[in-house]
Amino acid sequence: MSEIAGPAAAALASLSPDDVLFLQALPKAELHAHLNGSIPIKTLLELAQQHSPTQSSEVADTLQKLKSGAVLDEIDDFFSLMPAIYALTSTPEAVTTATRAVLQSFLNPTGDGTGSPQCAYLELRTTPRATAHMTQERYLTAVLDEVEFYPATQAALIVSVDRRMSDLDVEECVSLAIEMKNRGRRVVGVDVCGDPRKGDMQSFTQHLLRVKGAGLGLTVHIAECTENTTEDSLALLSCRPDRLGHTTFLSDELKALIRLIPCVEICLSSNILGKLVASLDTHHIHYYLKNNHPIVICTDDALPFRTSCLGEYSLLLAQPPLGLGLSRGDVTRIARMGMDAAFSRPCD
């Protein structure tokens, strides 16, 4: 696991050793983690070394930013990191290396002496990417081969479609996810992700409606930034998603509509470091806690946000202003909600 920094690290550092042991032992589900945003920095540097003859200044610049902790002042600062990471994971071999490292970082014992992994169950997500070296199917196969190395009670895959995709690409991507599931591969859901300011969600709905018909779970990044319109959110909600990612700027009218959505994925460090939420104090998690709406605590992109499952849970338990000051009982209840919101039920 990479070193953590920022608000999660400050919250963790404020906890008593006993509280840390309590959080480490708590079975946690990580349900919102993007593969390419979760690659340990050590692995990314190794991939860069193998890649070095053609390493562009953009790749070198991004690696430097990630090593020293990327400062994200606006949403473009986050998305500008991705092309360099994609350049380093553009072959099936690199995808295999990256996926293996991500799975190990979440699911293998963390080496903290407790023998506990970061999380008990992981639903990793990624957008199938065709490059000069592989097709979308080859990309997905490389990822699934690694995911399926772990038992189904520990790891599964969500196939993401990107808001920037053309209609045809979305259709193909959803078809690929369904086909993989029907072939017995461990695809459990579909996600909508990518730059929240891009794409016409109305045109996505016809494809997303096929997801649920195929027996897959559906989760969507929704109302992530102020530019997202009510129409955009309504189009996504019309597909009856099983989970929602972020929900940062949902209006009260829309909040009323999501009462029936089984779970909201909350990424505290991501929201704060991405400057989409000013502070923990004003974070929308308070709304869900007050209304007893199920949530799951997730890392989103542990690499740029330099966090971990333990770090995110520390933000729940630490006393204000470093954390929310929740009781151990409440934190246990939240962790249980996360496990219950998995697309493939880990306890079955």
Q: Supply 118's token pair.
A: 């970061």
> Does 231 participate in catalysis according to the annotation?
no
Pick between residue 300 and residue 312 the one whose CB is nearest to Zn ion.
300
Q: Report the nearest approach of Zn ion to the CB of residue 262 (Å).
A: 18
Residue 224 binding Zn ion, by CB under 5 A: no
The stretch among 200-208, 254-262, 271-279, 296-304 that binds Zn ion (CB under 5 A) is 296-304
Q: Which residues of 296-331 are buried (b: 16+ CB within 10 A; e: fewer)?
A: bbbbbbbbbbbbbbbbbbbbbbbeeebbbebeeeeb
Q: How far apart are the first and last CA of the chain?
A: 28
Q: Report the nearest approach of Zn ion to the CB of residue 300 (Å).
A: 5
Pick between residue 144 and residue 222 the one whose CB is nearest to Zn ion.
222
Phi (first) and psi of residue 186, to 5 degrees: -90, 55
Pick between residue 266 and residue 337 the one whose CB is nearest to Zn ion.
266
Per DSSP, what are the bridge partners of residue 131?
Answer: 134
The stretch among 102-110, 131-139, 298-306, 334-342 that binds Zn ion (CB under 5 A) is 298-306
Catalytic residue among 172, 224, 265, 312: 224
Residue 162 binding Zn ion, by CB under 5 A: no
Pick between residue 28 and residue 221 the one whose CB is nearest to Zn ion.
221
* CA distance to 31, 155, 195, per residue, from 340 (Å): 11, 14, 29
The stretch among 99-107, 109-117, 170-178, 299-307 that binds Zn ion (CB under 5 A) is 299-307
The stretch among 12-20, 63-71, 229-237, 294-302 that binds Zn ion (CB under 5 A) is 294-302
Pick between residue 242 and residue 300 the one whose CB is nearest to Zn ion.
300
Length of the chain: 348
Q: Report the nearest approach of Zn ion to the CB of residue 267 (Å).
A: 7
Q: Report the nearest approach of Zn ion to the CB of residue 147 (Å).
A: 18
Residue of closest CB approach to Zn ion: 300
Q: Report the nearest approach of Zn ion to the CB of residue 270 (Å).
A: 7
Which of 300, 310, 317, 323 contacts Zn ion by CB under 5 A? 300
Residue 265 binding Zn ion, by CB under 5 A: no
Pick between residue 125 and residue 181 the one whose CB is nearest to Zn ion.
125
Number of residues that bind Zn ion (CB under 5 A): 1
Q: Report the nearest approach of Zn ion to the CB of residue 191 (Å).
A: 8
Q: Supply 217's token pair.
A: 């779970």
Residue 191 binding Zn ion, by CB under 5 A: no
Q: Supply 245's token pair.
A: 């990612």
Over its C-alpha atoms, the chain yields an Rg (Å, rounded) of 19
Pick between residue 91 and residue 232 the one whose CB is nearest to Zn ion.
232
Q: Report the nearest approach of Zn ion to the CB of residue 37 (Å).
A: 8
Q: Which residues bind Zn ion (CB under 5 A)?
A: 300
- Return the active site residues: 224
